[in-house]
Chains A and B, each alone.
Chain A
Amino acid sequence: MIGLIILAIFITLIVLAIAIIQNDDLPHSVVLFMGFGLGSVILYFLFSAPDVALTEAVIGTGVSGVVFLVTLLQIRSKEIKK
């Protein structure tokens, strides 16, 4: 059962990674990246590495996604002004 869950998460992560690269809409891609981080959090936890899972949840899903989104917003606002 747990093997099936791990396999499903692996396939989801591969699909998400391809979707992140192939997406033309950059904010959409950032949200997918945060979803990728969530999947890898579950994977780290199932492989009994809760410390790494906590770090990935805080850094990969929280802070880096926000930094990406804010950078995109700043670039957009400068493009609109020009």
Chain B
Amino acid sequence: MRRFSIRSIFISLIVSVMIVLLLQIFLQFDLVTSSAGSTVLNINANSTHSANAVTSVVTYFRGFDTLGEVTILFLSIFGISLGLDGYRDKFNIFAYENSLLKIAVDTLFPLIVLFGVYVIVHGHLSPGGGFQGGVIIASAFLLMFLAKSNDFSLKHNILELAESLSGAGFILLGVLSILILNRFLGNFLPLGEVGKLFSGGVIPLIYIFVSIKVSAEITSLVEYFIRIKDVK
């Protein structure tokens, strides 16, 4: 008979207890069939002063979920960096040089970054927001990787610093809200007029932090995939 180690029995015990707890939590909820959309729109029009209702759902009503999503993205990039770390700082996979793309990218790079910043800053007024704008900025860096094969390299210190500082800023906003309003990720800033750039209270700040984090993470993801170990 095969002997089981104490550790595996312990782990399986913990997992089964967690599954039972999870099932109890799931079975407590009833299936709500009525629509919540109009209620959410009414609350949004009265309380948050942001023109885009989707943004206020993502960052205000469900701000804690957004924190979880950002954490999931960070963990997946962390796993990729663990797997592909030996391939870092090596040669670019696109070894050929396209001179037309190389000249055009110098003009296109600031324009794409500017568009990304526009999408981020107007996240509470128009469609878009932190996640989309962050990925647009990362796609500008992707274009740089494609056009300038080995001439372009990122400073990893600045990237990691930006990513960790923005994540800390997101949590700091939540903790400040606990100190002021006694709830996590509440709105403690003055709401402006609906439709103005400086309005919506804490929503644009959260989206700016999310966008810095997402752009740093997606840029490092693209770099991990595009550098290859030994092509000569």
Residue numbers of A with Cβ under 8 A of B are 50-51, 53-55, 58-59, 62-63, 66-67, 70-71, 73-74, 77
In the complex, which of the residues B93, B127, B138 contacts A50, with contact meaning CB atoms closer than 8 Å? B127
Give bound CA distance, A59 to B217, whole Å: 13
B139 → chain A, closest Cβ, in Å? 5
A65 → chain B, closest Cβ, in Å? 11
Q: Would A51 and B128 count as touching, CB distance under 8 A?
A: yes
Chain B 119-155 interface mask (CB, 8 Å, partner A; 1/0)? 1000000011101100110110010000000000000
A33 → chain B, closest Cβ, in Å? 16
| Complex interface: chain A residues within 8 A of B222 (CB) | 63, 66-67
Total B residues in contact with A, Cβ cutoff 8 Å: 22
Name which residue of chain A comes closest to B129, CB basis. Answer: A51
Q: Would B142 and A63 count as touching, CB distance under 8 A?
A: yes
- Check if B11 is an interface residue, CB within 8 A of chain A: no
Name which residue of chain B comes closest to A54, CB basis. Answer: B132
| Complex interface: chain B residues within 8 A of A58 (CB) | 132, 135-136, 139
| Complex interface: chain A residues within 8 A of B129 (CB) | 51
| Complex interface: chain A residues within 8 A of B139 (CB) | 58, 62-63
B123 → chain A, closest Cβ, in Å? 9
B66 → chain A, closest Cβ, in Å? 13
| Complex interface: chain A residues within 8 A of B226 (CB) | 70
Name which residue of chain B comes closest to A45, CB basis. Answer: B127
In the complex, which of the residues B119, B128, B225 contacts A70, with contact meaning CB atoms closer than 8 Å? B225
Q: Would A59 and B135 count as touching, CB distance under 8 A?
A: yes
Give bound CA distance, A59 to B142, whole Å: 13
